[in-house]
Structure 1
């Protein structure tokens, strides 16, 4: 696949695969569980800015992922959020960060925090430190 994802014939299927996992996690786990594939596809779609329709789809995916319970490789969506960063995405993340859901508050807060700090890497250690701080603030 070349650098221009708009011409990649697999893009609609990659987006569908990621949407399936985001919207129907139990069914996806039962029939298609492939964490490495999920991670690889997220990294692929986050490599380059996209046309508006694809950016909108990716923004929807980031929102879907942050409002549900965290699943394996979800942290990779920070890559996507950094590529499609916009007032629309930040508004959605702010609403999620203010929601009644502790999952949404934690994950959306983390993504917003990293969007404001592009120099901080999205590592497992950074995520674990963020989660530990959020859990401590709930006690």
Structure 2
């Protein structure tokens, strides 16, 4: 990623200072993950407390009858504190990110990828500590639209598709077809074919479906298409 196209160095540094610890969420060592999960729980609790204080300030100001209650100093200050607290945890920080029309230009990019990798590799921990299906869906769609000439981003997306097709379906996993179509290449098809011919029944099914759709870019990835393909597969 070139500096001109990617996030500013200053913005990336700020994100890393606030959330660098979150890489522990995808660490292979359960002790490291446990430490990161404890920090995440504490940070999210702080953000929730800040949100409650903001809501209280909002209610007090609105009841006072001021037409510009949202500009009251107490409301503005409480909202700023909530933003600051949310910027130090996931998924809240991702809700405040700039450049949502082009995530490849945003300093949130590494942490968007991290959030999805966490869900893909440690789904139960993700569900217990930071479940956010809408955020998962939005990030997948954003990443499918971004510039994939960045080799790091493309490599991460290839890994995500490979991991996801090998498990039982989870909410919003179907969105990864968008990513597969966006980064379609010989490497991806090799991985999908390997999964399709493995002994893992989920991989056989899901990888086969993604490969079938890659060969038919004109078809939408709908539940009807999935059910039609599945029924046809079972009759062979």
Other-structure match for 1:130: 229
Question: How far is 1:53 from its partner?
Answer: 1.0
> 1:7 and 2:7 equivalent?
no
Aligned-pair Cα RMSD in Å: 1.6
Distance 1:5 1:90 in 2: 25
Q: Deviations over 1:24-44 (max 9, x none)?
A: 011111111111111111000
Question: How far is 1:5 from its partner?
Answer: 3.2
TM-score, with normalisation over the residues of structure 1?
0.91
Distance 1:91 1:125 in 2: 27
Distance 1:26 1:137 in 2: 34
> 1:98 and 2:190 equivalent?
no
Sort the Cα spacing of 1:131 and 1:34 in 2 relative to 1 into closer, same or farther, 3 A: farther
The structure whose Rg is larger is 2
Q: Which runs of 5+ in 2 are unaligned?
A: 1-98
- Aligned residue pair count: 137
Distance 1:132 1:22 in 2: 27
Contact 2:133-2:172 within 8 A present in 1 as well: yes
> 1:111 and 2:210 equivalent?
yes
Contact 1:42-1:80 within 8 A present in 2 as well: yes
Structure 1 counterpart of 2:117, from 19, 27, 40:
19
Distance 1:137 1:104 in 2: 19
Which structure is higher in RCO with an 8 Å CA cutoff and minimum separation 6? 1
TM-score, with normalisation over the residues of structure 2?
0.55
Question: How far is 1:3 from its partner?
Answer: 4.8
Q: Which runs of 5+ in 1 are unaligned?
A: none
Contact 1:67-1:108 within 8 A present in 2 as well: yes
